[in-house]
Amino acid sequence: MEVVLKNLTKKFPSRDRKNHEDVIAVNDFTFEIPDGKLIGLLGPSGCGKSTTLNLISGLLKPTSGKIFFGEDDVTDLPPENRGIGLVFQNYALYPHLTVKQNILFPLQNLKGKDKLSKQEMLEKAYTAARLVQIDELMDRKPGELSGGQQQRVAIARALVKMPRVLLLDEPLSNLDARLRLQTREEIRRIQRETRITTIFVTHDQEEAMSISDMIVVMKEGLVQQIGKPQDVYDNPINLFVAKFLGTPPINVFEGQVKNNKLYIGEDAVLDIKDTADQQVYVGVRPEGFTLQEDGPLCCSLSGVEIMGRDISVVSTNKASLNPTVRAIIGTEYKVNTQQPQVRFTLKPSKVFVFSKETEERIPFEVREVGRWEN
């Protein structure tokens, strides 16, 4: 089911006695979510993710704008008539009911032509339970399950009516790290198997990047960028998006463009062309550094961390906005940790330049690729 959001806006009245301005939780959100895809809705806490999801589910009414499921305008439909499945962070299972009864619950309320026989309900419940691999736990109570198992029950309950759209709000936040990883892969597998259009809300960029067909990055109610995870990572539209995606995070420096050179602090790090002289922020992904004895970027070496396949060179630089500069290089490099300084060349495709004024990305071309080629 394709889901279309048209100029979707939600304002909440201010509770602040001094500041009477409304909170614009979702601001003019327009997006066509393609059928059968998994969309990651991503952004820091308070940016409007849950509000967006609750508008799609019908739990909240938009201040303005429209929502379509395929051709159907569902903007004024109550949640129970939209054909959605909802999963929240806290599993919200009925503690006194067994797993089976919890999963059956949404089916027991069906009325009229949708009413099912007991046998049909059981079949559907077991199909959903098998999808999330809990069919052996059907007679237990939620209290007898681990957090991961409880969340699977919640997902089964959301799936049992085979919803048109599956909405998940930070469904993995209460799980420990290992279970989180495992369960997110499960969600991916279930989504692929069922082809249900799914919107997955998280503040965890890695989670969103790893399972989504497309991600939507939000900030303060406004959509910043929509795209395939890798494309957004490789081509962030502004400093906020660049900083929000990637672990370890992007290194950001004070810099400037002057006479066709890009500077980080005093160091001319790239020869570029056709970019006006101006003050900028320079973002360099950790994988964008190459160790080179006479490289143009000079940093004070703090230490080296060896992490399996990679080496992380930790250093400082006066122009850096982050307390440390983190460069990830291959283990084939040897770093002399006795030396006070370390020098790098930069891979141009891993370097982003942002206007200091607007924080928007400024595209640039390298003038003389030569030794700075990737």
Binding-site ranges for ligand ADP (CB under 6 A) = 12, 23, 25, 43, 45-51
Six-digit token string for 246: 């990637």
CB of 312: closest distance to ligand ADP in angstroms? 31
How many residues interact with Mg ion (rule CB under 5 A)? 1
Contact partner, 94, from ligand ADP, Mg ion, none, Cβ < 5-8 Å per class: none
Name which of 50 and 197 has its Cβ closer to Mg ion.
Answer: 50
CB of 170: closest distance to Mg ion in angstroms? 6
Distance of CA 100 to the CA centre of its chain: 32
Tell me the residue type at 99: V
State how far the Cα of 140 lies from the Cα of 98, in Å rounded to an integer.
5
Name which of 46 and 249 has its Cβ closer to ligand ADP.
Answer: 46
Name which of 98 and 205 has its Cβ closer to ligand ADP.
Answer: 205
Helix (H) or strand (E) holding 293: none
CB of 50: closest distance to Mg ion in angstroms? 3
Name which of 171 and 286 has its Cβ closer to Mg ion.
Answer: 171
Contact partner, 346, from ligand ADP, Mg ion, none, Cβ < 5-8 Å per class: none
CB of 246: closest distance to ligand ADP in angstroms? 20
State how far the Cα of 238 lies from the Cα of 235, in Å rounded to an integer.
9
State how far the Cα of 84 lies from the Cα of 57, in Å rounded to an integer.
7
DSSP letters along 106-169, please?
A: HHHT--GGG---HHHHHHHHHHHHHHTT-GGGTTS-GGGS-HHHHHHHHHHHHHTT--SEEEEE
Contact partner, 23, from Mg ion, ligand ADP, none, Cβ < 5-8 Å per class: ligand ADP
Name which of 141 and 203 has its Cβ closer to Mg ion.
Answer: 203
Binding mask 17-56 for Mg ion (x = CB under 5 A): ---------------------------------x------
State how far the Cα of 60 lies from the Cα of 17, in Å rounded to an integer.
24
Instruction: State yes or no: cis peptide before 248, omega within 30 of 0.
Output: yes
Helix (H) or strand (E) holding 248: none
Contact partner, 51, from Mg ion, ligand ADP, none, Cβ < 5-8 Å per class: ligand ADP
The answer to whether the beta carbons of residues 253 and 326 sit under 8 Å apart is no
Which residue sits closest to Mg ion, CB atoms considered?
Answer: 50
Name which of 145 and 216 has its Cβ closer to ligand ADP.
Answer: 216
CB of 54: closest distance to ligand ADP in angstroms? 8
Determine if 320 is a binding residue for Mg ion (CB under 5 A).
Answer: no
Name which of 51 and 320 has its Cβ closer to ligand ADP.
Answer: 51
CB of 305: closest distance to ligand ADP in angstroms? 32
Mapping DSSP to helix (H, G, I), strand (E, B) and coil, where does residue 253 land? Answer: strand
Tell me the residue type at 288: G
CB of 218: closest distance to Mg ion in angstroms? 11
Six-digit token string for 280: 């900028």
Six-digit token string for 316: 């400082």
Q: Taking every pair of C-alpha atoms in the chain, what is the biggest distance, in angstroms?
A: 79
Helix (H) or strand (E) holding 280: strand 278-284
Name which of 49 and 326 has its Cβ closer to ligand ADP.
Answer: 49
State how far the Cα of 273 lies from the Cα of 220, in Å rounded to an integer.
35
CB of 24: closest distance to ligand ADP in angstroms? 8
- The footprint of Mg ion (CB under 5 A) covers 50
